[in-house]
Every structure is written in structure tokens, then in C-alpha cells.
Chain A
Amino acid sequence: MDGLKPEERVALARHPGRPGTADYIGALFTDFFELKGDRQCREDASILGGVALYHGRPVTVLGHRKGKDLQQNLKYNFGMPGPEGYRKAQRLFRQAEKFKRPIITFVDTPGAYPGLEAEARGQGEAIASCLSLLSTVDVPVLSVIIGEGGSGGALALALANRVLMLENAVYSILSPEGFASILWKDSSRSAEAARLMKLTADDLLELSVADAVIPEPPGGAHEAPAAAFQSVDQALWGALRAVEQAGDFAARRYDKFRRMGL
């Protein structure tokens, strides 16, 4: 899969047939029990989460959920959570710490939902609190960027000891369209933006934002999902064991992000 242009990776990352969070949970985990709701306002289905067994041991697993068709996408809001989704995530993070379960997240979102109700209920506060909490939970946290990692809405689930990225996943400050729109007032220049943004897995590995790149089957994960599941499982299991062996989960996670930038 070498030689793909960044904008082609963006298209692959958004491919409607691409395996999503629900597919990875189904393939890699057993005995998944979904936990719904933020206990304050409502259930936000754009984040799917719960408890499951991973290689036979209990973990908290959650991720952004996109739909496979229009009807599903309306239900899951195209994978764009509101504050309730991030507050549900916080509830799950707290439970994971209480029961000393590792946290595994799958990241796949264009970004947090930019809507009127989302703002009224504190989208910014919900994401900030996710970051604050996730930086302190003293259990292993592992994130896999499986598709689109868009903006603070992605980061809110990705402040992790290890950030793994699928080969054709992208992770960026915002969408290439939004980037082009802000910088050049022209969203049609998104391909050009994608090339400048350093959003591919290889770019992010070089910038130490990603810790490993997981290879995809030829043509992308949607061409041979079983092979993709196997690669992700292998990388994730290896990373989990390494993080557990190292210990000091919160302290090491803090040090990792403290070094980001300068």
C-alpha cells in the first residue's frame, strides 16, 4: 500500500465499507456487554462502549460508531458525538479505574458534533473533562485509530499509553476540507490541504503522535476485514502486554504527552 497520496488515504479512511468500532469489538472481544447513557441527559449512540473479555480478561472497550448506511448514520450521527457521548465515556473510564480494567478505545470520527444543543450542553467542557480524566486513570489505556481521527473529538478518546494507527487511518487537527476552508477560504482545496497536514499514519509515527502503524490488507481494511482484525489484534495484544509490564500507567502516560511539541 506504499505510494498512496494522503488524500487517497483520507478517502480510504472514510470508505463506507471500512470496518468500524462495532466490527472490531465483535471480532476481537467476547462477552461484550454494552453500557448506555451518561446518567444526566441521554444516550449518545455515536459512542459505543461497554465491558468485554479480551483474550479472556475483562476490559473496558469503547469507540466512535459510524453507520453503514444512511439510516444507521442518522442514528449514530455519522460518528460525531455530543457532550453526552463524552460524558458516557467518562463514566466508563471511571468504572474501568474502579475495577482495574484496561481501557481500549477505537477512534473513528470526523469530529465532535458542531450543533446547537451540543454547544448548549457544553461540548468543550465535556471534551476537556475527558482529557483531564483520561490523563489520570491508573490503568493501561490503548487507542487504535481505525478510520478518521478528527480533532478534539478524536483526541478525547485517544490520550493513551499507546496510540496505534491503521495504515490508511488519518488523524488530524480537523478535516482537510475544514482546514482548507479556514486557511484559504476554499474547501475544494482539500487534497492540497491533506498533503500539507501530515495526517497519515507514517507522518504521525514520525512525529511520535502514533506509536505504531498496523498494516492493512491490499486495497484497504474493507477488502479483507478478517485480515485487518488479525493485524489489529496482534498489535493491540502486544501493546497491552508491554504497557502492563512497564507499570506506572498514569505517570508514563503523563510523561508521553508532556513531551509532545517541544
Chain B
Amino acid sequence: MEQIHFSRQRAWLEHLKTRRWGGEGEVLRRKAAKEVFGKCPGCGAMAPKAELARALYVCPSCGHHHPIGAYLRLSMVFDPHSFEELDEKLIAPNVLSFPGYDEKLKAARGRTGLSDAVVTARGRIDGRPVVAAVLDSRFFMGSMGVAVGEKVTRAVEAAGKAGEPLLIFSASGGARMQEGILSLMQMAKTSAALARFSAAGGFYISYLTHPTTGGVTASFASLGDITLAEPGALIGFAGPRVIEQTIGQKLPEGFQRAEYLEEHGFVDQIVPRSRMRETLSLLLKLHEKEARHGRS
């Protein structure tokens, strides 16, 4: 699928370059260009979408990491043919009977093809098994409601039961407003599950991507044995606007960005997407249980 898509884009690029344009044709050329070129929100540079895809959706000009969906992330990380989704169909009811929420959920599901804001799966990275959870900011800003809390907790439990490492990519605006207090309780549930997993010797890598805020930051995202972050990711508890309102002044440049967190001691390393897979592979190797080497 992906391959076909690329070649069609390449054909378009050639077509756009070779044809003569002018007058009204210019409008068509500009509009057509939008379909094959993506504008970088970081630097404004236009890059062919195919090239962007090959660069793992990192801007070739400025290195801006474009947000990516959960399945795309997993396809970049897992070995081919090792993906096995967990709790794919798990959804939560409109727990507080919040007006309009059912319709919004339905629309988000239709638009993204996701059941809720997290995908959990088992897979392998360079042959080593791992249980992964990936939050997807396209679905209600990756906010944590009951379904996200339950799926993350089940992923933690699955990793614990199988004796496998756990990998969570966070990307979240925080709590799911429409699920109110039960959304808050997911912070307790996921944190408790991770404490139990950790006490049993489980290894957990928390990978923070843009943006990771609110209740997700104040629970599972901050409880990794190792914490990694993508360059430039916004990471914090309170959002920048709330803080500006509270303190009544503009925030300094770079505040709450991944680099700022690394500087303040809350991130082990900033790992760009180009080194994501090899870094995870190395960390899994370094934490492999001795029994697997046959040295026990």
C-alpha cells in the first residue's frame, strides 16, 4: 500500500515539474502541490510527502518531529510481522452520560479508525519481545479516559505476566474532560499497576512525545525506569497557557520542551526518531534477563 502511494506521489512530482503553467493553471498547480508537498509547522519548508515519510516524518530542513499516529509509530518500531494488537475492540461507555460525547466519540472513531486514544500491542524489536502502548494525539488529543486507563493497565499486566519489557509512547493533552472524575481515577489505576510491575522486576521504558501533559505526565509517563523524549516535545503537568495566566508573564523560550526537561533532570536522553529503533533495541538488550542467554 505504502509503496504504491509513494510511486503515485513521485509521478505527480514529475508531472508538476514538466508541465507548463500560467494564468489559471497556476492555481491548479498550487492546489495540486498541496497534495504532494507537506508544510513543516516547525520551519515552514515545503517537502514532498514521500520524502517526509522516508525521513520518518521528521522535517529534512529543520528536524521538526511531526506528530504521528499510533500504528505508524508501531510500524517504525516493531520487527516486520511481529505486531499483535491487544484489546483492539475495548471501548468505554459514556460513563457520566455527558451530553454530546457519544457523537464526538463516533466522529473521532470515523476520522481516525481508532477505537480510543491508545493502541496496545505485543511485538518484537530485533527479535526481543516487548509490550507497547502508544497514545495517539489525533483522538481527543490523546486524552486519558477510562478506555485509555484500562488498556494501559492491561498492557502493564500483560507485560508483567509474560515477563516482558514494557514500552509506552505518551502523547496526551491530559485527562478526558467528558469522563470527569473517572478519568482522574485512571491516574491512580495506571500508577498502581506500574508500581506492582516494577516491584516484580519489570522493565519499563517511557518515551515522551509531543505533547505529554496533565494527568498522563502526573502518572504513567513519569514512572519509567528509563525516560526518553523526542526532540522539541512539549512535556509538563500544567499547560503553558494556564501557567502564563497564573504567573501573569510570558514563559521563556524553550520552557517545558524536551531539552528543558533533560537539563532539569527529568529525562535520561533525548532520542530523535532516526535513532528511536536502535536505541530501544539497545535498551532491551541491556535489560535482557540472564536466563535468555542461557547463562543462568
Contacts and interface: CB of A to CB of B under 8 A. Distances in A.
A122 B264 contact: yes
Given A136-B199, A258-B193, A115 B188 contact: no
Contact of B255 (A119, A131, A197, A204): A119
Contacts, number: 165
B50 interface: no
Contacts of A119: 236-238, 243, 255-256
B180 interface: yes
A257 B146 CA distance: 12
A122 B189 contact: no
Most A-side CB within 10 Å, residue of B194, B238, B242, B255: B238
Interface size class of B (residues with CB under 8 A): 35 or more
B238 A135 contact: no
A171 B195 CA distance: 25
B108 to A, nearest CB: 15
A186 interface: no
A31 interface: no
Interface string A21-39: 0000000000000000000
B237 A129 contact: no
Contact of B246 (A115, A124, A179, A207): A115
A62 to B, nearest CB: 18
A123 B189 contact: no
Contacts of A199: 180-181
Contacts of A261: 92, 95, 146, 149-150, 182, 185-186, 189
Contacts of B195: 132-133, 135-136
Contacts of A129: 222-223
A261 to B, nearest CB: 4
**Residue among A121, A132, A254 facing the most chain B CB atoms (10 A cut-off):** A132
Interface stretch (A45-53, A151-159, A223-231): A151-159
A128 interface: yes
A236 B267 CA distance: 41
Contacts of A122: 222, 264-266
B107 interface: no
A254 B182 CA distance: 16
Contact of B192 (A118, A174, A204, A254): A254
B246 A114 contact: yes
Contacts of A120: 260, 264
Interface in B219-250: 219-223, 235-239, 242-243, 246-247
B242 A152 contact: no
B141 to A, nearest CB: 10
Nearest to A156: B218
A152 B215 contact: yes
A16 to B, nearest CB: 20
Nearest to A112: B237
B127 interface: no
A124 B221 contact: yes
Interface in B71-86: none
Nearest to A255: B192
Given A135-B192, A196-B98, A151 B255 contact: no
A160 to B, nearest CB: 10
Contacts of A235: none
Given A121-B264, A173-B181, A159 B175 contact: no
Given A128-B191, A128-B219, A152-B218, A123 B238 contact: yes
A155 B217 contact: no
Interface string B252-291: 0001100010001110000000000000000000000000
Interface in A179-198: 179, 182-183, 196-198
A209 B183 CA distance: 11
B74 to A, nearest CB: 23
Interface of B: 90, 92, 95-96, 98-99, 146-147, 149-150, 153, 175, 177, 180-189, 191-196, 198-199, 214-215, 217-223, 235-239, 242-243, 246-247, 251, 255-256, 260, 264-266
Given A136-B192, A155-B188, A261-B149, 19 more contacts: A114-B238, A116-B243, A119-B236, A119-B238, A119-B243, A123-B236, A123-B238, A125-B266, A128-B221, A152-B237, A173-B215, A199-B181, A204-B181, A209-B181, A257-B185, A258-B192, A260-B188, A262-B90, A262-B150
17 contacts: A115-B238, A118-B237, A122-B266, A124-B217, A132-B192, A135-B192, A136-B196, A151-B215, A172-B181, A173-B181, A173-B183, A183-B177, A199-B180, A257-B185, A258-B193, A260-B182, A262-B146
| A-B residue pairs, 7 tightest by C-beta | A114-B238, A124-B217, A135-B192, A261-B146, A131-B191, A260-B185, A128-B222
